[in-house]
Structure 1
Amino acid sequence: MSDPSAASRPVQAVVLAGGQGSRLRPYTDDRPKPMVEIPGTGTPIIGHQLSWLAEEGVTDVVVSCGHLAEVLQKWLETADLPVSVTTVVESEPLGRGGGLKYAAAHLPHPDQPWYATNGDIWTRFSLRDMADFHTERDAVATLALARPRLPWGAVKTDGFGRITDFIEAPPSTFEINAGVYVFSPEFAGLLPDRGDHERTTFPRLARERRLAGFTIPQGSYWRAIDTAKDLTEAAKELAASGR
């Protein structure tokens, strides 16, 4: 029997791959951030993302390029990809919101929902479950939420101020925007032509109770690749998981 939820799940996505990646130098001196390889995999970050999107039912992806766009475009043209990919390049900087709107205008099904992900996120969780969560809440936009591990050790104290325990790299007590989204068709029309949607569109939707947050399930893998240390940690975690 077919799943009635399947009809409302996106089959298209935008990958925002235009960042400078300055904190990942020297890896990003000759390639954009999403083209940096996870050590030991032989595959760039965006390759992992496209495989994940395909596994989750996505058939069409728009990749928004920027810094060293030609390097990313060349790889996309020559790689054996599991999805149909279109690339777009902003002729002038439009900001995060404007860039997202520009990319969304190139999606093949403007009247259908869509996923979006930042080009430096490496994760694995059920986008189908996130899409169902989005539909159940009648949201215009749903953000994936992560609880990353802090880069420092933490201490516990008792009521008298004595240290009782040390905790290495504990999870944050706050959830953060994980850089993965589900958007309803009308969301693109709410984006600014230029500027940052996280300062305009998201706060507006939150006030209107039309913005939802989907917590990435405990045990699912999530990491933002921002620094060389993140690459090293991702490689270690990959080796430990046996994937």
Structure 2
Amino acid sequence: MQAVVLAAGKGTRLRPLTEDKPKVLVEVDSKPLIEDVFDNLIDIGITEFVVVVGYRKEQIIERYGDEYRGAPITYAHQREQFGLAHAILQAEPHIDSDFVLMLGDNIFRANLGDVINRQQEARADAAFLVEEVPYEEASRYGVLDTNEYGEIVEVVEKPDDPPSNLVMTGFYTFTPEIFHACHLVQPSDRGEYELPDAIDLLIQSGRTIDAIRMDGKRIDVGYPEDRERAEEWLAERTADQSEEQTADAPEQ
């Protein structure tokens, strides 16, 4: 299965960490963000990457070349950053079937494989990993409204009055139908082509979209303090795993 990784952003909120490098090369726990994304995707069976690059793209291309851990990499160029729907369209010529979409600036330790399994089993047109956040934080994200079967009936990008506290996390699966929807999207008030607007077009056309609740944790590394929080979290995980391994080791 192919995965599209979005890595074109400037990361202005992460400055000064991104003054001389693209956002996805900012390191957390001594590893660039995009490398953590690659490792997560390979671990769930992804065999090919399409990486959408833009800001300081040459650093990403020079570092990773045409493969990572044996998985081929194709680069798609987003010359101007006009939103996520616009970014996805840059990958369209390289996608030939259902695919995973993952943002390049999230640290996940969660049930990513469940999203792929759900879409394939239900033959849905899309499936997303979602999580609940405090209501006061929901307006920072794409907010979901679902029916009793867990199907998404509405997606609202950064609403002033969120319909729920269930938000998208940055991990999705799609059929190629998403490209048609992205072509139809009109610029938002922010002047960007929003992914939630494309998803809403799928919903309005009767497509089936599933929401899978996250089992685990993720951190969206949008600000320097998020990077520090991610560093602390991963260090704690490593320490806990070391303690478990020591406790499980047979006595000599």
TM (norm. structure 1) is 0.76
CA contact 1:32–1:69 (8 Å) conserved in 2: yes
Deviation at 1:203, TM superposition (A): 1.1
- The structure richer in helix per residue is 2
Structure 1 residues 199 and 115, CA gap change in structure 2 (3 angstroms): closer
1:198 aligned partner? 195
Counterpart residue identity of residue 17, structure 1: A
Deviations for 1:110-167, whole angstroms, at most 9, x for unmatched residues?
Answer: 0x21000111111022333211212333321222112347999xxxxxxxxxxxxxxx
Report % sequence identity. Answer: 25
User: Are 1:76 and 2:64 counterparts?
Assistant: yes
1:163 aligned partner? none
Counterpart residue identity of residue 21, structure 1: G
Deviations for 1:188-237, whole angstroms, at most 9, x for unmatched residues?
Answer: 233227752435321122332522211111xx121100001101100111
User: Are 1:15 and 2:12 counterparts?
Assistant: no
Uncovered stretches (5+) of structure 1, i.e. residues with no partner: 1-10, 153-172
- Work out which of the residue numbers 233, 236, 240 in structure 1 matches 2:236: 240
Deviations for 1:88-121, whole angstroms, at most 9, x for unmatched residues?
Answer: 21244453212202213223xx0x2100011111
What are the equivalent positions in structure 2 for 1:172-211 lying under 5 Å apart? 174-192=165-183, 195=187, 196-207=193-204, 208=206, 210-211=208-209
CA contact 1:121–1:225 (8 Å) conserved in 2: yes
Runs (4 or more) in structure 1 with deviation over 4 Å come to 148-152
1:20 is paired with a residue of what secondary structure? coil
Structure 1 residues 68 and 44, CA gap change in structure 2 (3 angstroms): same
- Work out which of the residue numbers 107, 110, 120 in structure 2 matches 1:135: 120
Counterpart residue identity of residue 31, structure 1: K
Equivalent-residue separation in structure 2 for 1:104 and 1:78 (angstroms): 18
User: Are 1:53 and 2:41 counterparts?
Assistant: yes
Uncovered stretches (5+) of structure 2, i.e. residues with no partner: 138-163, 188-192, 242-252
- Work out which of the residue numbers 21, 24, 32 in structure 2 matches 1:31: 21
TM (norm. structure 2) is 0.73
What are the equivalent positions in structure 2 for 1:83-122 lying under 5 Å apart? 83-107=71-95, 110=96, 112-122=97-107
What are the equivalent positions in structure 2 for 1:131-170 lying under 5 Å apart? 131-148=116-133
CA RMSD of aligned residues (A): 2.5
Q: How many residue pairs end up in the alignment? A: 206
